Structure 1
Amino acid sequence: MSTAYIASLNSARNQIGLYFGIPVFIMSVIGEALSIIVLLSLKTFRQSSCGFYLLNMSIFNLIRLCLSSVFVIMSISFEIDYSISIFFFCRLRNFVVTTCNMGSITCLGMAVIDQYFATCFRPRWQQWANKNIAYRVTLITTLFWILNGILYIIFFNNISPTSRAACATSNYIFLQYHIYGYFIIYNNLLPLVTVIFGMMAFHNVRHLTHRTIPLVRRDLEKQLTVMVLVQTTIHVCTYLPFATISIVSALKANSSSVYLAEMNLINAVVHIISVYSNGVRRTSDLI
């Protein structure tokens, strides 16, 4: 009975990946590529520090999609275990995922904070919304997340908690950092901080009509604020289930075959949802 149940779960996982995961992945890649083209081609975005953050966010997302998500989607759809068949893939994928994911979240958060400063009433605070600061912040945070990703190259490897190899860490201290530092603090609390700044930026935008600023700039600030608010909301709503399931999987690595099959199916669903959020966010930028 358990063997048939596991087989049905694996079959459902393959069907979800084949008929939903692959189309969602293609849509997300096209959306990120078009977003980069739009942000580079329009002068108003090129001259905006918020546009610079959004551009880098799209670059991080595209790299993650092409160097990590594509292998996950193919693994879900066709049961090809790249962590075993490709040398160094386990460590490389975790490096790409953590670096690009946190780089994307940081750029999104900085875009929201930048919009708050850009729409502030105080001229002194408005000075913080400029491209020179955006260049420096992006460089410093990117280097920080690269160093953070190197830890995953060091501590992650293929281990065998059951009969099947898994990409995980056997270091207890780093496992605690991975769960509570990476998933809980970085991936959830940081976006919640950006939500707070986003609401304050939205409050500032509502009062732009009472300020003597050019109409073109007023419309641009409104458009950018709406863009970052939509993206932040979608990220918080779609990534939270993925982070929760990932934490549960990390805490209960040594479990029965039935439990692992159930978690693999749930992981496939929430991963596709998280990839789908990229496509939705990019589509909202282009509308």
Structure 2
Amino acid sequence: MNILIFLSVRSYRKTPSTFYFLIISITNIIYILINLISRIVSTGFLIDLTRSSVIWCKARLSLIGVFGLISFTCSSLATIDQFFATSPNVHLRRCSNIKWTYRIILLTILLCILHAIPCFIYLDISPITKTCLVTNNAYNFYLSLYSLSLISTFPVIIMSIFGYLTYRHINLRRILIRQSADRQITRMTLIQVILVITTITPYGIQITYNLITTGIYKDTDRMIKESFSLTIVSLLTYVYFVGSCYTFLITSSRFRRAVKDHICFWRRRAQVAALIYPIQERIVFRNQVH
């Protein structure tokens, strides 16, 4: 739904923050399709292609890394853009520019793809356990740091800082003039900040705990509890990938109207028809009279 709304409403396509939201929505749905569906199939139907197909083993985690990183990066960039857009400084407001947004997104996508190349190289199916895993120990350790930094810590810190600064700008300027910022888009951005913090922070805490306790002996009971905890916080991250539509519906009346118009499209046709038919009847009547 997000993709449909952001593509169909011209003002959303031309606004940097909502264009970031469009990219986030596209990457999120691809992430969900790749990750969640494969989990459901492997768990529910016992069909795990990562154990039988080397290509899928490499491609799945690499693509998840690419689209996940793009999504979190664009979320951070959207918050930074709103900081610029709501700034009382005219020079900072000029930094909120759609042309620059296009370039930044292209650069982000390119860097995320390059970042995932080692993942594609080092992933393989273990001949012993028949599971898809990283064959390089150094890169395996880097992945833990990557999950802690680029996926959890950095986005949360960046969005918290710039979200707070944006909120300060709003309070300093009670009435935002139209050229400076759209209040509803600002609310959408701030609710996105809250969504990221609440869903990603527990995952970052779990990864930190795992890194700290790496060299500690753990009995079976503790390992089961840690595995259960990791499963819960991992599932919580899916709320970020699927929850933005609901948060936008809550915070933006314009977004709600756009959704309503697209869902109830037949009503628009009926309203248009109700306006057109009387006009056509009057034209026909006049022609008959003359």
Whether these two folds match at TM > 0.5 is: yes
C-alpha root-mean-square deviation of aligned residues, in Å?
2.6
Query: What is the rounded CA distance, in whole Å, between the counterparts of 1:189 and 1:210 in structure 2?
Result: 31
Query: What is the rounded CA distance, in whole Å, between the counterparts of 1:78 and 1:266 in structure 2?
Result: 24
Query: What is the rounded CA distance, in whole Å, between the counterparts of 1:239 and 1:79 in structure 2?
Result: 29
Give the 3 Å change call, closer, same or farther, for CA 260–154 of structure 1 in structure 2. Answer: farther
Deviation at 1:276, TM superposition (A): 2.4
> Which residue of structure 1 aligns with residue 182 of structure 2?
221
Query: What is the rounded CA distance, in whole Å, between the counterparts of 1:259 and 1:206 in structure 2?
Result: 48
The 5 A counterparts of 1:162-177 are 164-177=129-142
Amino acid across the alignment from 1:186? L
| Structure 1 runs not aligned, ≥5 long | 1-33
Give the 3 Å change call, closer, same or farther, for CA 247–80 of structure 1 in structure 2. Answer: farther
Q: Does 1:178 align with 2:143?
A: yes
Deviation at 1:128, TM superposition (A): 0.6
Out of 24, 44, 53, the position equivalent to 1:77 is 44
Query: What is the rounded CA distance, in whole Å, between the counterparts of 2:117 and 2:15 in structure 1?
Result: 32
Q: Tell me, yes or no, if the aligned pair for 1:35 and 1:286 is still in contact at 8 Å.
A: no
**TM-score normalized with structure 1 length:** 0.76
Deviations 1:36-81 (A, max 9, x none): 1111122221120111111001111111111222102333334432
Give the 3 Å change call, closer, same or farther, for CA 258–71 of structure 1 in structure 2. Answer: farther
Q: Secondary structure of the equivalent of 1:209?
A: coil
> Which residue of structure 2 aligns with residue 131 of structure 1?
98
Amino acid across the alignment from 1:285? F
Identity %: 23
Query: What is the rounded CA distance, in whole Å, between the counterparts of 2:79 and 2:113 in structure 1?
Result: 22
Give the 3 Å change call, closer, same or farther, for CA 179–90 of structure 1 in structure 2. Answer: same
Q: Secondary structure of the equivalent of 1:145?
A: helix
Deviations 1:77-102 (A, max 9, x none): 34432311334222111111111111
The 5 A counterparts of 1:103-252 are 103-159=70-126, 164-180=129-145, 182-187=146-151, 188-210=153-175, 213-214=177-178, 221-245=182-206, 251=214
Q: Look at both structures and tell me which one has the larger radius of gyration over its CA atoms.
A: 2
Amino acid across the alignment from 1:157? D
Q: Secondary structure of the equivalent of 1:80?
A: coil
Count of paired positions: 246
Bigger Cα displacement from structure 2, 275-284 vs 35-44? 275-284
Query: What is the rounded CA distance, in whole Å, between the counterparts of 2:229 and 2:56 in structure 1?
Result: 23
Amino acid across the alignment from 2:191? V
Give the 3 Å change call, closer, same or farther, for CA 175–87 of structure 1 in structure 2. Answer: closer
| Structure 2 runs not aligned, ≥5 long | 251-290
